[in-house]
């Protein structure tokens, strides 16, 4: 007995020295513990989710097998460890088959410490032993009755065997149908009480599997060293940010400064990867990690506003104190503000007037402006009482603005934003949606090579990149002046 106890202690100490606390946790009150084993999956392993829509997901990690064990007093000389095997994604039959194989390994090595042999088998050979192939198919069983719900047997999870415990046919848990070749198991192994399925039969397994895979990927990323593409410093992944679309990596210090500048300038649509010609965007969660709450609130507000501005069915409540975004139904000119309940015409922005013509059109605004500006003080008061002082003042401002915009601006071909050309060539960039376009023909330009529009002989704007641009001859030096 003293030799068995010494062998047990040595084996447990060896496991504690090999594996960290997240993998192996020793029991405090007994000679036993718990081991979590992540399987070694083949490259490009995928999950195939079947349902109303079929989709494939590439994963590198699946939730671990959990081996709970307790060492009897006469282990390893006589008795094997008492154990249970649990998983969040394997079937009862698969776990039972693994339990049976662990029993066979003990029979082959009886009298010797077996835990490390079990661990190596479960970690390295489980995929081949169960013939698990990619894609691993996930689909829920159609039977979801309230009577199907069962609790995990505490005795089995603690590692104690109960030969009399068995599942009744009517209590059998609905299993996940998987595209793997299951071995033909004996009735005894199929109902092995040491095999514990931890997945709730009434929940969708896919989100849990994908969340675990993402968490493990992040953990692996945090432990690697990367060279920042901006400051060229080597830093741990925990101090870096990886753009999900392109996998380009930059340190958080550089990206924090980059995000802060862009958000302060209102360029919330331009938080993309700094790599030239890369279009991958930072996710809102990544932005939130790197900027303070005030900047993130500004980013969130501007991102929503810029998105709504590009939607043809969204207008804003014309009330100055409100300005709430309003969804407009197709083929109607009525908008109802969800904030102040104001019903207005989406064309003239006045109170909704049904099928009647808008009272204030563009020409009417101009006429109203001219009439108001040329009226006497008594005439101005009369017009303010008739139309409302705010409406008249707004009409004057809007009329002047429309005239100025018409004379000095052109509309972006993508979002319709008024753009004024101050200087430079005829390749323009919209300040709102960042679309490149030609100032001469208002055609949208390629983001990859916007100047090809002016270099193509078949283009209407061929060789007109600087057409209409005033060139100051004094800025150019002649050979004689040199």
Q: Note if the bond before 261 is cis, omega within 30 degrees.
A: no
What is the mean pLDDT of the segment spanning 24-38? 89
3-state secondary structure of 208: helix
Question: Cβ neighbours of residue 386 under 8 Å, at least 6 residues apart?
Answer: none
Told to judge if 411 belongs to the known catalytic residues of this protein, a careful annotator would answer: no
Higher pLDDT, 56 or 175: 56
What is the mean pLDDT of the segment spanning 332-354? 82
Q: What are phi and psi of 47, to 5 degrees?
A: -105, 135
Is residue 256 scored above 90 in pLDDT?
Answer: yes
What is the mean pLDDT of the segment spanning 205-228? 87
Question: Cβ neighbours of residue 238 under 8 Å, at least 6 residues apart?
Answer: 222, 223
Is residue 177 scored above 60 in pLDDT?
Answer: no
How does pLDDT run across 139-167, given as a tens digit for each residue? Answer: 544 333 333 333 334 333 334 344 343 34
What CA–CA distances, in Å, run from 388 to 317, 366, 383, 385, 478?
Answer: 18, 17, 7, 5, 63
Report the C-alpha dihedral over residues 317, 319, 320, 326, rounded to 10 degrees: -10
For residue 352, which of 342, 340, 360 has the smallest C-alpha distance? 342
Joined together, the tokens standing for residue 139 give 């689909």
Is residue 368 scored above 60 in pLDDT?
Answer: yes
User: For residue 373, what is the enclosing H or E element?
Assistant: helix 362-374
Q: What is the predicted pLDDT for the residue at 311?
A: 64
CB 241 within 8 A of CB 250: yes
Joined together, the tokens standing for residue 313 give 């069915």
Is residue 478 scored above 60 in pLDDT?
Answer: no
- DSSP string covering 396-435, please? HHHHHHHHHHHHHEEE-TTT--EEE--SS-SEEE-TTT--
How big is the CA angle at 311 (ends 308 and 312), to the nearest 5 degrees? 135
Q: What is the predicted pLDDT for the residue at 462?
A: 92
What is the mean pLDDT of the segment spanning 190-205? 79
Residue in 246, 358, 425, 433 annotated catalytic = 425
Joined together, the tokens standing for residue 62 give 């699946």
């Amino acid at each position: 007995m003293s030799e068995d106890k010494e062998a047990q202690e040595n084996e447990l100490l060896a496991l504690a020295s090999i594996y960290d606390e997240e993998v192996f946790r020793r029991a405090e009150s007994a000679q036993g513990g718990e081991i979590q084993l992540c399987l070694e999956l083949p490259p490009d392993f995928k999950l195939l989710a079947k349902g109303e829509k079929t989709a494939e997901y590439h994963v590198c990690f699946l939730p671990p097998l959990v081996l709970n064990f307790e060492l009897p007093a006469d282990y390893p000389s006589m008795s094997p460890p008492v154990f249970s095997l649990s998983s969040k994604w394997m079937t009862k039959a698969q776990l039972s088959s693994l339990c049976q194989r662990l029993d066979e390994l003990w029979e082959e090595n009886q009298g010797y410490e077996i835990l490390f042999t079990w661990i190596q088998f479960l970690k390295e050979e489980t995929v081949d032993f169960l013939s698990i192939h990619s894609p691993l198919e996930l689909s829920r069983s159609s039977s979801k009755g309230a009577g199907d719900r069962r609790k995990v047997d505490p005795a089995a999870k603690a590692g104690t065997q109960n030969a009399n415990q068995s599942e009744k046919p009517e209590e059998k848990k609905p299993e996940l149908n998987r595209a793997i070749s299951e071995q033909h198991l004996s009735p005894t192994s199929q109902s092995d009480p040491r095999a514990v399925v931890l997945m709730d039969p009434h929940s969708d397994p896919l989100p849990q599997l994908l969340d675990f895979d993402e968490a493990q990927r992040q953990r692996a990323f945090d432990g690697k060293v990367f060279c920042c593409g901006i400051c060229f410093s080597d830093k741990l992944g925990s101090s870096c940010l990886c753009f999900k679309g392109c996998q380009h990596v930059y340190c958080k210090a550089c990206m924090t400064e980059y995000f802060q500048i862009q958000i302060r300038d209102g360029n919330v649509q331009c938080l993309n990867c700094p790599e030239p010609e890369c279009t991958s965007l930072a996710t809102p969660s990544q932005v939130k990690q790197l900027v303070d709450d005030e900047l993130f609130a500004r980013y969130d507000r501007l991102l929503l506003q810029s998105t709504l501005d590009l939607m043809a069915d969204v207008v804003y409540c014309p009330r100055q104190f409100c300005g709430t975004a309003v969804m407009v139904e197709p083929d109607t000119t009525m908008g109802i503000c969800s904030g102040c309940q104001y019903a207005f015409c989406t064309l003239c922005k006045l109170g909704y007037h049904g099928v009647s013509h808008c009272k204030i059109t563009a020409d009417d605004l101009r006429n109203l402006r001219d009439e108001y500006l040329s009226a006497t003080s008594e005439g101005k008061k009369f017009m303010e009482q008739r139309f409302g002082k705010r409406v008249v003042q707004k009409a004057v401002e809007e009329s002047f603005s429309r005239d100025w915009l018409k004379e000095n601006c052109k509309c972006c071909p993508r979002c319709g934003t008024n753009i004024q050309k101050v200087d430079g060539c005829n390749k323009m960039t919209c300040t709102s949606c960042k679309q490149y376009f030609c100032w001469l023909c208002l055609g949208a330009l390629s983001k990859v090579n916007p100047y090809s529009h002016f270099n193509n002989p078949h283009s209407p704007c061929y060789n007109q990149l600087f057409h209409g641009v005033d060139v100051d001859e004094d800025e150019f030096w002649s050979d004689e002046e040199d």
